[in-house]
Amino acid sequence: MLHAIMRQRDRLALLRSLHPSRTPALTREESAVVVQQMIRAGGDVNMRLYPAAPAVIGSTLLYTLAEMGYAEAVSVLLDAGAAVDLRDNDWLETALIVASWRGYTNIVKMLLDAAADVNQTDKHGRTALTVASSRGWVATVRALLYAGADVEEGQDVCSRTPLHVACHNGRHHRHLECVQLLSSYNASRTVWFSRERGNGVTAESVATERGHTEIAEWLASTRLWSTPLHHLSVIDSDFTRAELRGGADLHAAGHLRGGAAEAALLDRQSRIPTHGPTPLSLAQQMEPIKGSPADLVLRAAEPWSQANHGLFPDDARESAVQLLFLGYRLSRDLPIDRANGRALLDVWVGEVMPLLVTREMEWLMEHPLALEVASSESSDDMMGHLLSVVPDSVAPSMHVSRLKRYITQRLVRLLRLGARFGARRMMPRSSSAGAL
C-alpha cells in the first residue's frame, strides 16, 4: 500500500489521515510519523493532493501541512528537500503565504530558514506580509520583516500595501502593533495613484474612515517620524542596536515621508510642521530603563568610550581600533618611564580618542591608518599620518590630574596645530609625576 501512495486514492487517504477533521485527530507528532512513512516508501515530497475539499485543490503536501499547522510534519518535509516555493493551483499561494495567513509563526520561521521567497505574491498580488498584516499577527509580521520582507510590495487588488491593509482591518489592538512595526521599517504612509495630480490615499485617512480611532490617532501623532529610530517606543533593543551600528543618524529631523503632496492629503486646512523631533530628542523626553532603546540612543550620543564602543558604526569602531593601536605605540616608543607611558595611554584612550572617534568617521576612513601605521618606523611618523587627516575642530574640555592634564594639553595642542609629534618636547626623560 505504501508503494502505491502516489495513486489518487492513496493521496486522498494520506490527506484524510492528516486533516484535523479526522476523528480522532492525529497529534502533531503522529502527523510527522505519517509523513516519514510516506517518504520511506518512496513518496514524492512535492506531491499535489486532490481532496474533495475545493479550498485546497491542487495544493502540495507542504502547503496543506503548513495550512493545518503541523509544524513537525513540515519540518520532516523540509528536511527531505521539499520545494518550498511551489504554489497551489487555485490562489497561487505558497506555503509561506498560507502559514502567514494562519499566523503560524513557528512554521513561517521554518520556511524562511529553508530560503522561502519572502516577497512571493499570490494571484491577487498579496505577499506573506500583506496577509499577516491583514490578520494582525504581530509575531508573524515581525518575523517576515526581520527576514527582509518588502514593506511596499504585496499591494492587493485595491492597491493597498501591508500598512494600509492593517489600517483597513484594524479592529483589534494587534493591528495597531502591526502598523507600528511596519512604520518602523519605513513603510510609506501614502499610496499614490498619481502623485502629480495629488491623487492618493493615506493610511491615516483609511483608519479614520474605517472607525479605527486608536490607529488613526497614533498615525496622526507620529506623522513626522521618518526614520526607524524615531520609533523608540515601538522597536526593541536588538533592532535599535543594529540601527546604531549601521550608522543611523541620531540628529535626523523628522519630516513627512511623502513631502508637501502628502501634507496636502493629510490636512488641506491647517499647516503641518516641516521639521519634527530627532531620535535623540525623543530619547531625552523618555525615562529609559537600562538597555532599553531610548537608553541605547542616549549612550550612543555620548562621546566615544570603551563602554559605548559597541553602539558606534562599523567605520567608527574600526577607526577606534586603529587609534588605540597608535596610542599604544606612542606610549611604548616615547622616551618616558613606564608609569608615565601608562598615564599617557590612559589619557589617549580616555581624553583624546573621544575627541577623534565620532559617529561620522569619513575623514579617517578616507585615509586609513592601518597600512600607514604598520609601515611606520617611529611614533613621529605615526602621529604625522594622523595629523595629516584629523579635522580642525578638535577642542577639548577636560578635568584630569596634573600629570594627565600636562600630557593631554600637549597631545591636543599638537593635534590642533597639525604639528608633528615631538617626543622630547612632550615629556623629557627627567620629568616625573612628582615633579608635576
CATH number assigned to the domain comprising residue 12: 1.25.40.20
Q: Cα 105 to chain center, whole Å?
A: 19
C-alpha cell read off for 210 = 474605517
Residue 58 lies in a domain: yes
Q: How many of the other CB atoms lie within 10 Å of CB of 270?
A: 7
Residue whose grid cell is 502505491: 4
Residue 188 lies in a domain: no
Q: Which residues contact 69 (CB under 8 A, 6 or more apart)?
A: 28, 102, 104, 107
| 36-50, 317-331, 369-383: range with lowest mean pLDDT | 369-383
DSSP state of 200: E
* Three cell numbers, residue 255: 519630516
pLDDT at residue 80 above 50?
yes
Please tell me what DSSP assigns to residue 25: P
In a domain, 129, yes or no: no
Domain final residue pick, 117, 132, 163: 117
The residue whose grid cell reads 509523513 is: 35
Q: In sequence order, what are the residues at sequence separation of 6 or more whose Cβ sits closer than 8 angstroms to the Cβ of residue 108?
A: 96, 99, 100, 128, 132, 140, 143, 144
If one counts the domains in the chain, the total is: 2
CB under 8 Å to 285, separation ≥6 — which residues?
none
The parent domain of residue 356 ranges over 309-426
What residues have CB less than 8 Å from 229, skipping those under 6 apart?
235, 240, 243, 244, 248, 250, 252, 279, 297
Amino acid type, 232: L
Of 297, 276, 275, the residue nearest 286 (C-alpha): 297
In a domain, 162, yes or no: no
pLDDT of residue 355: 75
**What pLDDT score was predicted for residue 48?**
78
Q: Is the pLDDT higher at 111 or at 256?
A: 111
Band (157; pLDDT cuts 50, 70, 90): low
- Summarize pLDDT for 385-428 with one digit per residue, the tens: 554 544 444 434 333 344 445 555 555 554 444 333 333 333 33
In a domain, 166, yes or no: no
Residue 123 and residue 87 in contact, taking contact as beta carbons nearer than 8 Å: no
Phi, psi of 84 (to 5 degrees): -85, -20
What the block records as the C-alpha cell of 118 is 519572502
Q: Which of 101, 176, 85 is nearest to 144 (CA)?
A: 101
Residue 120: what residue type? Q
What stretch of H or E contains 194? strand 190-194
The Cα-based distances of 246 to 101, 145, 226, 360 in angstroms read: 32, 17, 17, 11
Cell of 105: 509563526
Percent of the chain having pLDDT more than 70? 65
In a domain, 331, yes or no: yes
Say what the pLDDT of residue 192 is.
67
pLDDT, tens digit (0-9, with 9 covering 90-100), for 356-388 = 788 876 655 554 544 454 445 455 555 555 545
- The per-residue pLDDT for 116 is 96
Q: Would residue 275 be called left, alpha or beta, if left means φ above 0 and alpha means ψ between -120 and 50 degrees? A: beta
pLDDT at 35: 83
Mean of the pLDDT values across residues 206-220?
A: 93
Q: Would the CA dihedral through 132, 134, 136, 141 be positive or negative?
A: positive
Query: Is 351 a domain residue?
Result: yes
Q: Is the peptide bond before 24 cis (omega within 30 degrees of 0)?
A: yes
Q: Which of these three, 65, 84, 117, is where a domain ends?
A: 117
Q: What's the pLDDT band for 434 if we cut at 50, 70, 90?
A: very low
- According to DSSP, residue 400 is labeled -
Domain boundary among the residues 94, 117, 140 is at: 117
| C-alpha cell of residue 144 | 517576515
Cell of 240: 535599535
